[in-house]
Chains A and B, each alone.
Chain A
Amino acid sequence: METVIRVVIVYVFIMAALRMMGKREFGELAPFDLVVLLLIPELVTQGINRSDQSLTHAMVAVATLLTLVFATSLLSYRFKRVENVLSFTPAVLVRRGSLVQRNLDHERVLPAEVFDALHQAGLHRLAQVQWAILESDGKITIIPAQEAGERQTEDEQGV
């Protein structure tokens, strides 16, 4: 049935498009991101539905989408290669008090955004940071220098 093919095409297309946009887009919704996320359904609705308003069509479309989501989740968990293709790798933004400019450029993260995360962690200088990591969900995690040192010691002691 054509509905199945249309949902598969749209799902793969959106997955690929979102994957290419990068994880930064998912951390916080800026006005631009919100516009994009609101527009995508509007644009694909006609592509999937055509003029079919039937419940059968809707049920098949939803079932196709959920099956794809579940299958993606299973494959991503089972096979590392699939996971690598579908999910993002965390990026180090600050390493031992220094900004990693290459990663900031790749992930389009401004130093001000790193400092926002610093402030939220109760820090105010880069020197206080051991690691700042852009996680796969787009959020920035701060690991303070002292805390990282303590944890390293704990690891070494086998705690």
Chain B
Amino acid sequence: MQRNRKQPDDGPPQPPDVERKVALYRHQKIGMTLLALLPILAFAGAFGESRKTSQAAGGSLDVTVTYPTRLRYSLDERIEVRVMNVGGTVLNRVRVSFDPDYMDGFTSMTAVPGFTRAYEIPLDSMAPGETRIVRVDVTARRYWKRSGIMSVSGGTTPLRLNLTTLILP
């Protein structure tokens, strides 16, 4: 049923009120659903940063690495490696090294302690029970999946951990 709205300020006649129903075209239904899906997915954390902790032990070494598994282009993240000498003897020439294929996905890398050679960080000698922490700050640069091995040598057998990070554009 149509009826005239109240005229504001005794003004000219107003348009009639009609029953309002939302009607969308098919392409609008599909398009807006897809468009609305992006913020919903984002809200659910699908595009957010995520981290993972992996651990490996062998010989006299116990290694734990916490690294980003998903981050977006140009965002800064940190890879943290905790190396512990769980043996009873001093370990000489302990080294943490990263696969260049993996590290090529990042830029602006700074490590504490610093790199000596490409993606290699020497920890020198470690006393029994001693723990060292290596921090590598990286900025995501290359898109999509980056995988590689992080290895820690110094014990009888090098410990290897697989790192995989998805860099969203």
Interface residues in chain A, defined as those with a beta carbon under 8 Å from any beta carbon in chain B: 1, 3-4, 7, 51-57, 59-60, 63-64, 66-67, 70, 74, 77-80, 89-92, 95, 100, 103, 130-131, 133, 143, 148, 155
Contacts and interface: CB of A to CB of B under 8 A. Distances in A.
Nearest to A133: B11
Contact of B38 (A51, A54, A63, A148): A63
A77 B20 contact: yes
B42 interface: yes
A67 B32 contact: yes
B32 A55 contact: no
Count class of interface residues, chain B? 20 to 34
B36 to A, nearest CB: 5
The interface residues of chain A, by DSSP majority, are classed as helix
Interface of B: 8-13, 17, 20-22, 32, 35-36, 38-39, 42-43, 45, 47-48, 72-75, 168-169
Given A54-B72, A54-B75, A56-B47, A91 B8 contact: yes
A56 B9 contact: no
B13 A155 contact: yes
A1 B168 CA distance: 14
Nearest to A8: B39
B38 A60 contact: yes
Contacts of A91: 8-9
Contact of B8 (A4, A51, A74, A90): A90
A21 B10 CA distance: 24
